[in-house]
């Protein structure tokens, strides 16, 4: 019986934690990282991505050297939101037209060591 409860606890924990996880980090070769963050706002997605990049390079005197940065809206268009609103009013239900994954920020970066005379990759 304990094993069943433990397995059930593991499954529930995994489901709950997967919903909270919104930042991923991929290490490519040659000290190249890509961090992707999703959030309900563009500012928050960018902040989450940059915070993760800074954390990777946090050992002083290493700093983040951003090579590429993109952010995009991946939620519903205004037309889609309008259609959902009309449909939900028709059937008498409410529907949410925003999500915690509406915006996506991607940062490709390297960690660089700051020296007195130049920057040097680690």
Residue boundaries of the structural domains of the chain:
22-121
pLDDT in tens, 21-30: 589 999 987 8
Residues in Cβ contact with 66 at an 8 Å cutoff, skipping those fewer than 6 apart:
53, 107, 108, 109
If residue 45 lies in a helix (H) or strand (E), which one and from where to where? Answer: helix 42-56
Tell me the torsion sign for CA atoms 73, 78, 83, 89: positive
Q: Coil, helix or strand for 80?
A: helix
pLDDT in tens, 41-88: 889 999 999 999 999 998 767 899 999 999 998 876 666 656 656 666
């Amino acid at each position: 019986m304990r094993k069943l409860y433990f397995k059930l606890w593991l499954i529930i924990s995994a489901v709950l934690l997967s919903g909270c996880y919104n930042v991923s980090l991929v290490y490519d070769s040659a000290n190249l990282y890509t961090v992707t963050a999703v959030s309900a706002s563009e500012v928050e997605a960018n902040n989450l991505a940059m915070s993760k990049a800074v954390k990777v390079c946090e050992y002083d005197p290493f700093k983040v050297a951003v090579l590429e940065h993109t952010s995009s809206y991946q939620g519903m268009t205004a037309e889609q939101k309008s259609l959902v609103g009309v449909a939900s009013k028709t059937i008498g239900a409410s529907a949410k037209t925003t999500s915690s994954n509406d915006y996506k920020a991607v940062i490709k970066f390297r960690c660089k060591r700051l020296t007195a005379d130049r920057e040097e990759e680690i």
